[in-house]
Structure 1
Amino acid sequence: MMSVEERRLVEELRAGKDEAFDLLMEVYGRRLYNFARRMCRHTEDARDVMQETLLALVRSLHAYRGEGSLQAWLFQIAANACRKMRRRGKFEPDVELSLEAFFPGDRPHDVKIEIPDVMSNPEDRLLRAELNARLEEAIAKLPTKYRSVLLLRDVEHLSTEETARALGLTPQAVKTRLHRARLFLREHLAPYLAAHRDTLAPDSQE
């Protein structure tokens, strides 16, 4: 459900108050743009998604009933805009590989990859530009259906239920896709993290 602040913001948006739109962009604009950029992988396409999202927001305000949080609704609109662009062939092919296709076929199933949960350390990502670049590269390689879940859950910190609502999935499907996406990131980043274990260890920062 919407918070009191979100409900007030929606009412002010419906009333056409410019300051309400400014506040919306201040709180959600950068997050929506970054989500669109990571989904589309091109700046111009991300801008198109942002424009589509804002237009859809204006058109849908009168029908919005507040069943979920405002941020979940906004990301639902953005995700729909990304899907529309994809159907038009704007930024990705119609056929995509399964996540399993990214893993070596002969990797033992009992091998455990132990690496820090880099998605939960935004300060580390900012300080370590190289690791951040490799993380962005790994996210970009994820198939769309896994990438969208990972971005909403681990980057935008939406709940499982909010992510499910935004993407039109069941909560269990969100959990499954998130698990597989995280496994892929661990697999992709493991060689780099192993090579820089001493640098990235917490003790090395003291």
Structure 2
Amino acid sequence: MPNPSERPKNDDSDAELVRAINSGRQDLFYELVTRYEKTLYNFGLRMCDNPSDAEDMVQDTFLNVLKYLKGFRYETKFRNWLYRVATSACLKKKRRSKFAPDKEISLDDFLPADESAVSMDLPRWASQPLDQVLDEELGGVIRQALMELPEKYRLVIVLRDVEGFNTQEAAEILDLTPTNIKVRLHRARLFLREALKTYYESD
């Protein structure tokens, strides 16, 4: 049994923990799981909107992490790499799920014809982090609006506005250019603004 004094401290970086695991400390993999299982579950829930699918996604993610951890490149942030694995697992799970919609909507059917002409004055909820708003009075309305977004837009707004990744990190996770991330984020935010117009205009 490993000496407890050899166990990485709680404040050790993800990279140090991964190095320890890859050096033979397989007993520490559970610590990696406990660091991220809750946030990954919430990510899966926001993408799939189904607790069972979210749980399966978390399990699939950690199975893939265990399988591919030896190939982790330490110049990459582990959290970014983890969410790339999770995104792949989430999309695969969502497409197999019985809860998946028959087809996705097109944002073009809901956004104004001239996006540049839309006032970008933000409603009062938009000054708060989206993850906080989701737990407040608008939570159910915003969650429903998020689920109506096509997954490529929902992924971007969840990664940027809920999970807190910056543009470059989101681009790395989704294998897109930063410009594509900015465009998708802009359109996703516009959609949410339009979807919630009735609420904030009467506020």
Name the % identity. 39
1:150 paired with 2:147, answer: no
Equivalent residue number for residue 183 of structure 1: 190
Hey, what does 1:30 align to over in structure 2? 38
Structure 2 gaps, min length 5: 1-11
- SS of alignment partner, residue 44 of structure 2: helix
Say if 2:33 is the partner of 1:18. Answer: no
Paired with 2:175 and 2:99, the residues of 1 have a C-alpha distance of 21
CA distance in 1, matches of 2:174, 2:200: 32
Could you tell me how far apart the structure 1 residues matched to 2:26 and 2:107 are?
45
Q: 1:153·1:159 contact (CA, 8 Å) conserved in 2?
A: yes
Write the distance in 2 (CA, Å) between the matches of 1:6 and 1:161. 20
Residue 20 of structure 1 and its aligned partner are, at CA, apart by 5.0
2:129 corresponds to: 120
State the TM-score, normalized to the length of structure 1. 0.80
Aligned to 1:60, which of 45, 68, 74? 68
Task: Report the secondary structure of 2:67's partner residue.
Answer: helix
**What secondary structure is seen at the aligned counterpart in 1 of 2:196?**
helix
Q: CA deviation at 1:172?
A: 0.9
Question: AA paired with 2:175?
Answer: G
1:99 maps to what in 2? 107
Number of the residue aligned with 2:93: 85
- Give the Cα–Cα distance (whole angstroms) in 1 for the partners of residues 197 and 21 of structure 2: 46
Number of the residue aligned with 1:169: 176
TM-score norm. by structure 2 comes to: 0.81
User: 2:141 aligns to what?
Assistant: 134
Query: Which amino acid in 2 is paired with 1:32?
Result: L
Partners of 1:48 and 1:163 lie apart in 2 by: 23
Aligned residues: 189
> In structure 2, the residue corresponding to 1:55 is in which secondary structure?
helix
- Residues 85 and 124 (structure 1), Cα distance of their counterparts in 2 relative to 1, 3 Å cut: closer
1:74 aligns with 2:78: no
Aligned CA distance change for structure 1 residues 124 and 148 (closer, same or farther; 3 Å) = closer
Q: Kindly provide the amino acid, as one letter, of the partner of residue 142 in structure 1.
A: L
Provide closer, same or farther for how the CA distance between residues 26 and 119 of structure 1 changes in structure 2, counting only shifts above 3 A: farther
User: Which 5+ residue runs of structure 1 have no aligned equivalent?
Assistant: 197-206
Q: Residue 86 of structure 2: SS of its match in structure 1? A: helix
Match of 1:47 among 42, 55, 61: 55
- Amino acid corresponding to residue 5 of structure 1 in structure 2: S
Alignment-derived partner of residue 3 in structure 2: none
The offset of 1:159, in angstroms, is 1.5
Q: Which digits, 9 at most, give the CA deviation of each residue in 1:34-72, with x for residues without a partner? A: 111111111111111111100000001101112321111
Measure the CA separation in 1 of the matches of 2:21 and 2:15: 10
Contact 1:161 1:171 in 2 (8 A): yes
Hey, what's the Cα distance between the residues in 1 that align with 2:128 and 2:183? 17
1:31 CA displacement: 1.3
Report the residue type matching 2:158 in the other structure: L
Q: Indicate if the aligned counterparts of 1:118 and 1:125 stay in contact, CA closer than 8 A.
A: no
Determine the C-alpha separation between the residues in 2 that align with 1:157 and 1:180: 18
